[in-house]
Amino acid sequence: MSTEIKAPTFPESVADGSIATWHKQVGEAVSRDEPLVDIETDKVVLEVVAPADGVLKEIIKNEGDTVLSDEVVAVFEEGAAGEAPKAESAPEAAQVPAASEDLKISPAARKALEEKGIDASAVKGTGKGGLITKEDVMNYQAPAAKPAAAAPAPAAEVDVPAGERVEKRVAMTRLRKRIAERLLEASQTTAMLTTFNEVNMKPVMELRKQYKDLFEKSHNGTRLGFMGFFVKAACEALKRFPAVNASIDGDDIVYHGYQDVGVAVSTDKGLVVPVLRDADHMSLAKIEDKVRDFGLRARDGKLGIEDMTGGTFTITNGGVFGSLLSTPILNPPQTAILGMHKIQERPMAVNGQVEVLPMMYLALSYDHRLIDGKDAVQFLVTIKDLIEDPARILLEV
C-alpha cells in the first residue's frame, strides 16, 4: 500500500521550509519511525520519520527544494520487500555514467553530477553508508593532468609551488539566515546599551560542593549546576524591576506578569533559545533538569518550535566556551539579556586584605528606550547580591 509522506504542519509564524537532507533513497528499505528526511525552517530542523516498515518508493522534493505545510515530499510503500520499482527515476539514472550504477547518490548530487559532467565513481561519498551528497560533488576537484616529460633541471632552479588558496562557497541555511536577520534587527531597531558588574562565585561554589551529591541523589540524577541559581536570581530581580521583564509593542509597553526565561543554547546549526515557562515557579532541580534536556534535544535537533516561542528575558552563558567578557545582543521583542562568563580566580580586596576569589563578570544588555540606566544597574546589582548570598534566593529578600 502506497502512502504519501508529507511535510509537518508548520505554525502560523513559519511560512515554509526546505529539504535539508534525505536519509533514505529510492528503493531503500526503511523501518518504522526511522528518519526519512530533515526539513529545515527558519527556526528549527524538523524530522519526518517512516510511518511503518517498508520501502521509499519515490522522492518528490529533492534536497534544497522549498516545501509548504503538509505538502507531499515522497511516496512510501508499506510492507514492500526488496527494491521498489524505479521506473520513475529511470530517465534520470540513464544520464549518470554506468560506473555509478552501484553507488548511492542523493537526488541533489545526481543533478550536480550531470551539470558538471563528473563521473560519479570518481567522487567519494561522505554521507551515511557512503552516500554521495551534493556537497561532495561541489567539493570534488579533478586530479591535475600529468605534465609532459621534460629534461631534468638543476635542483637549484626548481621552483616550489605556492600553497593552494582553496575557497568553499556554501549556501546559508534558513536557521542561520533567521539568526542573522534577528541580530541585525536588534542592533538597528533598539537603543541597546550594556552595563557590567562582577560577582563572587565562592558562596555558590561552596554550597554546590557541599550538597551536589545529596542533590543528585534526591532528584533522580539531576546535577546541581550554576544556571539554576542565576535563573532563580533573575526571576526575583525581574519581579523587582518590571521594566526589565517588559516588551515594546508599537507605541505600547507590555508588562508581563510572569517570568518566561529563555536559555541560549549553542548547536552545530546555530544559536537557539528554548524557554523555561513560568520559571519563577520552578525549583532548582526542575530548572537544571529542563536546561539539561534542552541541551540534549538541541544537540540532536529535537527541539520543537513551541519550545522556543515567547520568552520575556534571556540568559546566555559564554563562559562555557571560555569567554571572559562580552556584550550579549538583545533577543527582540525582549528588552534585556543577561550574559554570564568564565569563572576566573582573581586577587580581590576584602576588608582591607587581598584574597584570591573565583570571580565572574556579568553583563546586562538592555533597550534604553524602555529601561533607564539606573534600573539596569540596580537589576544587575540585585542578581550579584543574590548570587553572593544564595540564602536570599530562598528567602526572597
3-state secondary structure the chain: CEEEEECCCCCCCCCCEEEEEECCCCCCEECCCCEEEEEECCCCEEEEECCCCEEEEEECCCCCCEECCCCEEEEEEECCCCCCCCHHHHHHHHCCCHHHCCCCECHHHHHHHHHHCCCHHHCCCCCHHHCECHHHHHHCCCCCCCCCCCCCCCHHHCCCCCCCCCCCCCCCCHHHHHHHHHHHHHHHHCCEEEEEEEEECHHHHHHHHHHHHHHHHHCCCCCCCCHHHHHHHHHHHHHHCHHHHEEEECCEEEECCCCCEEECEEECCEEECCEECCHHHCCHHHHHHHHHHHHHHHHCCCCCHHHHCCCCEEEEEHHHHCCCCCCCCCCCCECEEEEECCEEEEEEEECCEEEEEEEEEEEEEEECCCCCHHHHHHHHHHHHHHHHCCHHHHHCC
pLDDT of residue 95: 45
The arithmetic mean of pLDDT across residues 7-30, rounded, is 80
List, by residue number, the catalytic residues: 368, 372
pTM value is 0.65
pLDDT bracket for residue 157 (50, 70, 90): low
Residue 116 has pLDDT above 90, yes or no: no
What percent of the chain is predicted at pLDDT more than 70? 85
pLDDT of residue 86: 43
pLDDT of residue 92: 44
The arithmetic mean of pLDDT across residues 263-274, rounded, is 85
Residue 174 has pLDDT above 80, yes or no: no
| Distance separating alpha carbons of residues 49 and 55, to the nearest angstrom | 12
Using the Cα atoms of residue 21, residue 88, residue 6 and residue 174 in order, give the sign of their dihedral: positive
SS (H, E, C) 63-90: CCCEECCCCEEEEEEECCCCCCCCHHHH
Q: Containing H/E element for 354? A: strand 353-367
